[in-house]
Amino acid sequence: MVIEQLAYSGAGAWWLAGFNNSIGAAMAEHGQEAAVSGHLERMCLGTACASIQFTEADTGSDPDALTTTARLVDGRFLIDGQKRFSTFGARPGPAMLFAKDETGGCSAFIVDKNAPGYAAGQLRQTMGAGGVEPADVTLEQVAVPQDALLGRRGHGFGILLEWIAAEKVQQCAANVGYAQAALDEAVRFAGARQSRDRPISAMQGIRWMLAEMQGKLQASRWLTYRAASLLDTRVPGYQEEAALAKVFAVPATIEVGELSRRIHGAYGYTREYKIERLCRALAGATGVATSLEVNKSIVGGALVR
């Protein structure tokens, strides 16, 4: 609900709260207190920005394709590799990083982004959600203590799947917030815009569009809330429910934004109105925190099993 309200502004502010919340929860659940407590305190105070670092140039959601390595040398892990699209990767704070260990398995680590050998490069400009700052990151012999390992060695992908379920729910909540703003903007514009001495909100066609938007929005909201509830209680199948929420809510909320833009007419394609920013923000959810197609495979696979 907090993220939904933050996203209502149409800005990318929810990412700050969302990442510190979901990554902080994963660190608290799987990390050793001595290694994570300082990071968690700064994240709660807002003086540290947490990052996730899994994606690489040639890696989507496949842990076997990781090229970043972590070798245990003299009682510490040495990490080498490159990461892409690390949100807030150039900001001080902890990164939850995934790398291959000597066994070839995927392990998860907490890396301080101020550590020697850590370098953030290009900040990629996004179509919407300004301020997110996805960065390319290079790690050269970055040394982390053994207690910076999250969970057990070789079991990092399970931690990633848990985290990404939370990220999907947060993402759906943000899109619900964007879509609510889009609907409100449409109602406001339709009530003010005049055609033949009456507001266009009096037209049956406009009212049908508003009704369709409300249905898509409310269905998305309640599916998201259900997934959030199952995630909080760790009910078996919560990861599939998070995937289902994304499969439905993301396209549905994008359609809400598009209908609002059409109600705005030519004005909807200008930066004079908020709906232009909302449509760009809504679009980002299709390719972040796994694609819609990956989530369809998750839901379909669960049904067949």
Which helix H or strand E contains 301, and what residues bound it? helix 292-304
pLDDT at residue number 129:
72
Q: Are residues 176 and 291 in the same domain?
A: yes
Q: Are residues 162 and 297 in the same domain?
A: yes
We report the CATH number of the domain holding residue 257 as 1.20.140.10
Is 103 domain-assigned? yes
Q: How confident is the model at residue 132 (pLDDT cuts 50, 70, 90)?
A: confident
Q: Are residues 25 and 145 in the same domain?
A: yes
pLDDT at residue number 93:
96
Q: Are residues 118 and 204 in the same domain?
A: no
Is 4 domain-assigned? no
Is 5 domain-assigned? no
pLDDT at residue number 95:
97
Q: Are residues 141 and 255 in the same domain?
A: no
Q: Are residues 212 and 283 in the same domain?
A: yes
Share of the chain above pLDDT 90, in %: 87
We report the CATH number of the domain holding residue 40 as 2.40.110.10
pLDDT at residue number 59:
79
Is 7 domain-assigned? no
- Residue at which a domain ends, from 133, 153, 173: 153
Number of domains in the chain: 2
Burial tier of 117 (Cβ tally within 10 Å: 0-12, 13-18, 19+): middle
Q: How confident is the model at residue 204 (pLDDT cuts 50, 70, 90)?
A: very high
Q: Are residues 147 and 204 in the same domain?
A: no
Is 6 domain-assigned? no
Q: Are residues 84 and 164 in the same domain?
A: no
Q: Are residues 162 and 133 in the same domain?
A: no
pLDDT at residue number 64:
84
Q: Are residues 167 and 290 in the same domain?
A: yes
pLDDT at residue number 61:
67
Q: Where are the alpha helices (DSSP H) in 69-155?
A: none
Predicted confidence (pLDDT) per residue in 223-243, tens digit? 999 999 999 999 999 999 999
pLDDT at residue number 244:
97
Average pLDDT over residues 54-72: 87
Assess contact for 120 and 140: CB atoms under 8 A: no
| pTM score of the predicted model | 0.94
Is 216 domain-assigned? yes
- Residue at which a domain ends, from 98, 121, 153: 153
CA 288 – CA 299 distance, rounded (Å): 17
Query: Worst-scoring range by mean pLDDT, 120-124, 188-192, 202-206, 296-300?
Result: 120-124
Long-range contacts of 34-37, Cβ-Cβ distance < 8 Å, separation of 24 or more = 34/147, 35/110, 35/145, 35/147, 35/148, 36/94, 36/110
- Residue at which a domain ends, from 153, 186, 215: 153
pLDDT at residue number 127:
83
Average pLDDT over residues 68-78: 95
Domain that holds residue 86: 13-153
Q: How confident is the prediction for the chain on average, in pLDDT?
A: 94
Share of the chain above pLDDT 70, in %: 100
Q: Are residues 17 and 78 in the same domain?
A: yes
Burial tier of 292 (Cβ tally within 10 Å: 0-12, 13-18, 19+): middle
